[in-house]
Chains A and B, each alone.
Chain A
Amino acid sequence: MLSRLDKSPVATWWWTVDRWFLAAFLSLMGLGIVLSFAASPAVADRIGLDTFHFATRQIMFMIPALGAMLAVSFLSPRQVRRMALIMLGIFLVMMVAVLFMGVEVKGARRWLSFGGLSVQPSEFLKPAFVVICAWLFAEQAKRTIPGNILAIGLLAVVISLLVLQPDLGQTMLTLGTWGVMFFLAGMSWFWIALFGGVGVTGAFAAYTIFPHVASRLDRFLSGEGDMYQVDMGRDAVIAGGWFGVGPGEGVVKRMIPDSHADFVFSVAGEEFGIMACMLIMSIFAFIVLRGMKIALKEHDEFTRLAVAGLVTVFGFQSIINMGVNLQLLPAKGMTLPFISYGGSSLIAIAISMGMVLALTRRGPEKLKNHRLSMPRTLVPAE
């Protein structure tokens, strides 16, 4: 056990880190490994790979992911911001590159291939974008730079790049998260209404412009057409009942094409039961609500918005994924953080939760930051 008197970085980290968060993230990672064994062998067999191909790779990805999360959690808020800025730069360039050099999968260019490694830049862009926006909103509050304008501009750039891929799911997620942060930053209802209106118009435009969005939504609303994957997801959960059919006993999971990725929640339902689904859902809810609660008490505007923003992305992603699995939302490719198969998604989520851990550490520098910010923020507006 580390001593309280030990002033080494590790000891300092251990005593300042939010261990509830840490426990939640680690348990999600553990569940991710367990569920990859349940969900992926069927898919691997079907496409002719080694039975445990995906499970092995999931574990292999888990190691750098865990490393990245812990490493990032050592950073100070200032370092987090810098890191986010660097990431934003790199991955914005990659987002542009992906439009020209990307691997086309199912009509969309989302992946860049380096040697044998595929990277989905949009996954890494999300946390960077959230942190930078939080900083911009916070700076707006301090009136050092026109943060709002820059945040809007940044949003426009990111959204444009996502729409060009096209990746409507990430677009909605980014927009939604930005909207929540905008809301949390304390903007007046007038602007919220305005942006809300723009958002609704945008959604309507997406419906009319992109045929696959329209057809997916139509299918969801009408319950007709190709609902195969979603129907199977629901059937899997129902087949599992409260306590599941047992590990490896799932049958419906074999019918789900993306059982290891977007529909891992359904597989969990079939094999381990609705109680297991409740547990997974509770962990997500706990992380989001705890993040929000910390944000509530946080005095530093940047930290407050960054933590809130990061857990918002995390929360939205989990809600959309579970909603799709449970036939509450139209089919939308969205991974379940930490649990779905996918290297980019896993490492990006690990980095972003590493940032949350870093930002929520109860440390002296935070107190220092707080004090430094106090005089400025106490200046009356008029």
Chain B
Amino acid sequence: MIGWLKKRLSSGKVSTASQMVFEATRQPSGGRSRNRTRMAMGAFFLFYAVIAGRLVYFGFQDPNGDGGPAAHITASRPDIVDRNGSVLATDIKTFSLFAEPRRIIDADETIEKLSTVLPDLAMEETYKKLKSGKGFIWLRRQLSPRQQNDIMQLGLPGIGFRTENRRFYPAGPVASYIVGLTNRDNQGISGLEKYIDDQGLADLQASGLATPADLKPVKLSIDLRVQHIVRDEALQAMQRFHAIAAGAVVINAKTGEIVAMASVPDFDPNNPVGANDKDKLNRMSAGLYEMGSTIKSFTTAMALDSGKVNLNSTFDARRPIVIGRRTIRDFHGKNRILSVPEVFIYSSNIGSAREADVVGIEGHREFLKRMGLLDRMQTELPEVAKPTEPKVWKKVHSITIAFGHGMSTTPLQTAVGAVALMNGGRLMPPTFLPRTLDEAMAVSKQVVTEKTSEDMRYLYRLNAEKGSGKKAEVPGYRVGGKTGTAEKVVNGRYSSNKRFNAFLAAFPMDDPQYVVLSIIDEPEPEKPGMGATAGSNAAPIVANIIRRSASMLGVKPDFRQEEPVTLVSYE
């Protein structure tokens, strides 16, 4: 280039071969340069066309398509009502606060202002979330309309609300274990809420068909008034006897409907903090216990039902039974020959073992199986435990199981078995949904004879009058029942001071309408020196429940029958 420059400067002449040829020199503003201007115009036109195309492309973009919150459907759920129509669970509209961190202008200001409405906002965590640059984050779910309004008033950019359904339980903790819980997304996760989902609501919601208008309320067999009484009594008993837990259930003896069932400690489903704690367990259906002497109801019924034993049969309870390393004694030892009613009201372990012996090991197991005490109970509630029994039944098992040890079952199952013993022998799966008598007959099966049932009613009533169940008496309601004071297994041994007490009762005994079972786990004597047997703590629970709820349950008191005119002497 320097050479060319020199040449150019020295000669002033140009030769076509050695230098740049400027066509423009020959053809100013014409020919090639015109073409070039046209080419430049074309290029510019193209550039602008690309920009215009881009604008049109943006025009067809969905403004909310990028990074925005994905459509979020919170499920609508049907209301849950009790048998009288009182609402147990319903959907309410709440407002969930979200932020779009990419659109937050000043994270500090946002947090500062939000915390005036939500003082418990976790500052550092929220700050990190807001600075994350994500498209969508939840800040706080399920706010009240008032909180929503207050936050709206702050006028903060980059945040917004989504309407969500939230489950509200007007009864609070009263029926918490029955009704259950939903998660944040309004899906049933426990209790009957989960049952409703499992019945197809979940599919319905997934398909988008679950609109609030279409959802009929789910009616339960629960009577909220009775439920309240049952829970209240369980709670009082737990406090009074410093127990770790208590519970009770009221079952309609004719239909198998569960009218009330409570287990304490429980939780408030509206604020289910600690609902997953270890002690928050529905002990009535999901707790497995060696039920103790209440099981003697079944042993006795089995002996009677076998036809080999009648109410006048006697059993030798003079000395303990020794089997292997174990010695079976009586708690209230009479050390004499006992009749069947005596075995029952004195709760004789020896007598019960002998009753089981009459039937034999196989027969014993078969009977308990028939009563549904060895299988997982079939009902709507998902939280149901599977009973445990010895892998191989031996003589010793049959003997201990005869008085309620060596086999664990759930309190609810025991009560359901008792229903069959009371109602003339019809065993029916319990239900939390309304059931008519006809339906009950259709799903039930005869497990013991009418006669056995009649004998059992007599024995229950007798035990309440003369035996361990005296404290269950309620004037006018002819309560009958069987106590159970079981020693709990602690570190593989039966503990003499940790007990599981139960009272299995029915009323009125001339035609039992309801079976009531109460349990109390590890009760202590009310006052030092007093006993802590089922008769002193579990039986009064039943008595109180019946006293307070019988009128609501439609059972009329009959004071004429207070004197045991129908009872015969058995000695």
Contacts and interface: CB of A to CB of B under 8 A. Distances in A.
A141 B25 contact: yes
Secondary structure call for the A interface: helix
Interface string A135-173: 000001101001011000000000000000000000000
A141 B22 contact: yes
Contacts of A237: 55, 58
B335 interface: no
B157 to A, nearest CB: 6
Contacts, number: 133
B105 A380 contact: no
A297 B39 CA distance: 14
B24 interface: yes
Interface stretch (A101-109, A119-127, A183-191, A203-211): A183-191
B5 interface: yes
Contact of A308 (B14, B16, B22, B37): B37
Given A185-B33, A237-B55, A382-B16, A288 B44 contact: yes
A143 B25 contact: yes
Interface string B214-231: 000000000000000000
Interface in B188-212: none
Contact of A149 (B5, B34, B45, B63): B5
B21 interface: yes
A298 B36 CA distance: 14
B24 A185 contact: yes
Contact of A187 (B14, B20, B40): B20
A328 interface: yes
A241 interface: yes
B8 interface: yes
Contacts of A241: 59, 63
Given A140-B22, A185-B24, A255-B102, A319 B40 contact: no
B63 A238 contact: yes
Given A281-B55, A382-B16, A180 B40 contact: yes
B29 interface: yes
Contacts of A298: 29
Interface string A225-237: 0001001101101
A68 interface: no
B105 A187 contact: no
A96 interface: no
Contacts of A308: 37, 40
A315 B44 contact: yes
A185 B22 contact: yes
Contact of A274 (B47, B55, B66): B55
B92 interface: no
A46 B105 contact: yes
Contacts of A174: none
B323 interface: no
Interface in B20-75: 20-26, 28-29, 32-34, 36-41, 44-45, 47-48, 50-52, 54-56, 58-59, 61-63, 66
B80 to A, nearest CB: 42
B370 interface: no
A58 interface: no
A10 interface: no
A277 B20 contact: no
A141 B45 contact: no
B9 interface: yes
B103 interface: yes
B44 A285 contact: yes
Contacts of A149: 5
Contacts of A278: 52, 55
B103 A251 contact: yes
A188 B41 contact: no
Contacts of A47: none
Given A141-B28, A146-B9, A299-B29, A292 B23 contact: no
A146 B5 contact: yes
Contacts of A46: 105
11 contacts: A148-B20, A180-B40, A190-B20, A191-B20, A235-B102, A252-B103, A277-B55, A284-B48, A292-B44, A308-B40, A315-B47
In the A-B complex, the 3 residue pairs with the smallest Cβ-Cβ separation, listed nearest first, are A186-B24, A285-B48, A377-B28
Interface of A: 46, 140-141, 143, 146, 148-149, 180, 183-188, 190-191, 228, 231-232, 234-235, 237-239, 241-242, 251-252, 254-255, 269, 274, 277-278, 281, 284-285, 288-289, 292-293, 295-296, 298-301, 304, 308, 312, 315, 319, 322-323, 326-328, 373, 377, 380-382
Given A184-B33, A304-B33, 5 more contacts: A184-B36, A188-B20, A281-B52, A299-B29, A377-B28
